[in-house]
Chain A
Amino acid sequence: MPVTAAAPLDDPVNPVNPVELSRGRVTIAGRDILRDVSLEVHPGEFLALMGPNGSGKSTLVRALTGLNPLSAGALRLFGTPYASFRDWHRVGFVPQRASAASGIPASVWEVVASGRLTRRRLLRRLSHADRAAIDDALETVGLAHRKQDGVTTLSGGQQQRTLIARALAGEPELFFLDEPTAGVDLPNQQALADALHRLKDRGATIVLVAHELGPLAPLVDRTVVMRDGEKVYDGVPLADHEVHGPVFFGESHSHHHHDEPVHHDHGPVPQVDAPLERSQEGS
C-alpha cells in the first residue's frame, strides 16, 4: 500500500470542500468567542489562520475539529454534516501543546504510533501498512533517528514535530495545526516548514493557526485574519507585519467590517480581548 497523505478526491471535476463552516458561533460561559464565522477550505489549500491572542483563531480551528461545539451555525467535513461525520481517519489534528509528554515515559515511536489508531481495529496487532505509515511519518518530520528515545529528551521543537508525525501516521487528507511554531526555535521552525511542504506536495489540505508564520510563509495559499471572534480578512497571503500592522489592529478599525455592518459597533460591551480564550490559548 503506498503511503500518501491524500486519498483520491471523491469527484475530480467537482471536488467536495474538506471544510465548510457556515455562520458558526461558539459560546463559552455565556460569551460568544466566535461570532457567525463562515469559512470554506478548498481541497489542497494551505490556509493560515492568523490574528492576535484572544482573536478566536484557536477557537475557530477547535470548532472545525468539534472540540469546541457550535452553539449556532453548521459545520460540514468532506461534505458530511458534523453530527454524522465518522471518517476521522481523514482528519489529522495537531493540538496546541507545550510538550508531547504525559505522566508516564513514552518513546517518540509510541506517541507517533498512537496517531495510527484512526485506522486500526480493536485488539489487532500493527499491520505492515501501519508500521510503514508510522515510519514514514517519522521520516517526514525528520525524527526517524530519535524514534526509540523518550519524548521528554527532545527539545520543544522536536516535540512539536513528534505531534505532527502523530497526526501524519493516520495518513489524513486534512490537517488542523494549532500554533505548531509557538515557542519553537528557528531551525526547528524550518524543519517544521519542510515537513509541511512535503505534506502540501502530496495534496493535503492544511489549516494552520499561527501568530506569526516565519519560515512557513512561502507555503501559504490563503490567509484568514481573525479579530474579536470575527473574520476580518480572507484573501491572498499576508506577511506577518501586515497581519499585525495598523490595517487590522490600528486605532481605526471601522473599514474592515464593510461586509458585516451589524458587528460594526459593539455597543456597551467594552472592547477587550476575550479573557477566557486568551487563558486557553496561553495554556
Chain B
Amino acid sequence: MTAWDLFSLPFMQRALLAAVFTGLAAPAVGTYLVQRRLALMGDGIGHVAVTGVALGLVTHTSPTWTAVVVAILGSVVIELIRERGHAGGDVALALLFYGGLAGGVLLSGIGGKSATTLQEYLFGSITTISAGDVIVTMVLAAVVLVVGVGLAPQLFAVAQDQEFAQVAGLPVRVYNLLVAVLAAVSVTVAMRTVGLLLVSALMVIPVATSQQVTRTFRTTLAASMVLGFVASLGGLVISTFASYHATVAPGPTIVLLALACFILAWPTGAWLRRRRAALPTGGATDV
C-alpha cells in the first residue's frame, strides 16, 4: 500500500478533517491571546483540561466533552484571576495549571487507566480519532471561527486597549470572557490533533510567524490561519509518509513544521523591519 492509498482510508480522512479544522481555528483565537500578551494562556488551559480528560476516562463518558466543560471552567477562573490583576494572580495561575495536570494524571491512575490512554490526549493521537469526535471537532472549530472572525472588530478593540474599549461603552468583561471560552474550546479542539501539552504551539506559533511579515491586524489574523492550516495538514502528510521508515507522531510533526515556518520567516521579518526603519517616512522627525 502506498501512502496515497493510505489517504483513502476512513481513519486517515477523519484525521485530515480534524487537522484542517484545528489548523484554522487555533490561530484565530491565538491571535487575540498574543495581542493581549497572553500567549501562554492556551498552555494553562491545556493543563487544566487534562483533569477534564481524566474525569471523562474515569467516569466512562466522552473525554472530549468533559474536557470542554473543565477547560471552559478553568479558562473563566483564569480570566477572573487575571482581571483582578493582583500580584498574586501570577502564582494563582501557576497553582491552577499544575493542579490541573497533576490532578488529571492522578485521577486517570485511580481510574485504572494506563498512561498510554492519557498520552493520546497529552501528545495527540489524530489517527485514532472517532467519527463522532471528528464531528464535534468540526462543529466546535466552526463556532470558534465564526465568533473569532465575525466579532473581530470588537475583539480587536478590547484586546488593543481595554480601557479605551470600556469608555467606548463596550462590554469589555463579556468579550474578555468570550476570548477565554474560545481559547478553551480551541484547546479541546486541538487536543486530539497536537495534544494538550502542544496545544498552545498551534495557537501561538502561526501568529508569531505571520507577524514577522505583516503590518495590519487583518492580514496577521488571516495569515496565521493559513499558516495553521498549512502546518496541520502538512505535518499530518509528512508524518504519514515518514511512517514508512520510522515512528513519526503527527502532533509533534505539525508543531515542528509550524516552527520551521517561523524560522524561515524570522530573517525576512528582521530584514523588513530594518528596511522600514531606514525609510524616511519611518523616522521620528516626520510630523
Contact = CB atoms under 8 A, between A and B. Distances in A.
A89 B167 CA distance: 9
Interface in B131-187: 150-151, 153-154, 156-157, 159-161, 163-170
Interface stretch (A41-49, A146-154, A232-240): A146-154
A248 interface: no
Nearest to B159: A102
Contacts of B285: 155, 187
Interface residues of B, number: 40
Interface stretch (B9-17, B29-37, B49-57, B249-257): B29-37
Interface of B is mostly: helix
A107 B284 CA distance: 17
Interface in A135-178: 142, 146, 148-150, 153, 155-158, 163, 166-167, 170, 176
A114 B153 contact: yes
Contact of A88 (B157, B161, B168): B168
Interface stretch (B60-68, B95-103, B210-218, B240-248): B210-218
Interface stretch (A90-98, A205-213, A214-222): A90-98
Contact of B217 (A91, A100, A104, A166): A104
Given A104-B207, A113-B153, A142-B287, A95 B35 contact: no
B169 A118 contact: yes
Contact of B284 (A91, A113, A155): A155
Contacts of B164: 93, 95, 114-115, 163, 166-167
Interface in A6-35: none
Contacts of B166: 66-67
A95 B161 contact: yes
B168 A155 contact: no
The listed residue with most A CB atoms (<10 A of its CB), out of B35, B168, B216, B276, is: B168
B214 A91 contact: no
Contacts of B215: 105, 107, 149-150, 153
B8 interface: no
Interface residues of A, number: 48
Interface in B237-286: 276-277, 281-286
A49 B151 CA distance: 37
A89 B169 contact: yes
A123 B154 CA distance: 9
A93 B167 contact: yes
Given A104-B34, A105-B211, A117 B157 contact: yes
B150 A105 contact: no
A109 B160 CA distance: 13
Interface in A98-140: 100, 102-107, 109-111, 113-115, 117-118, 120, 122-123
Contacts of B277: 153
22 contacts: A65-B167, A66-B167, A88-B167, A88-B169, A93-B163, A93-B168, A100-B161, A102-B35, A102-B36, A104-B31, A105-B216, A106-B160, A107-B215, A107-B216, A113-B153, A114-B153, A114-B164, A117-B165, A118-B168, A149-B281, A153-B281, A191-B287
In the A-B complex, the 5 residue pairs with the smallest Cβ-Cβ separation, listed nearest first, are A88-B169, A150-B215, A93-B167, A114-B157, A155-B284
Interface of A: 65-67, 86, 88-89, 91, 93, 95, 97, 100, 102-107, 109-111, 113-115, 117-118, 120, 122-123, 142, 146, 148-150, 153, 155-158, 163, 166-167, 170, 176, 185, 187-188, 190-191
Given A89-B169, A107-B216, 5 more contacts: A106-B160, A114-B160, A114-B161, A114-B164, A149-B215
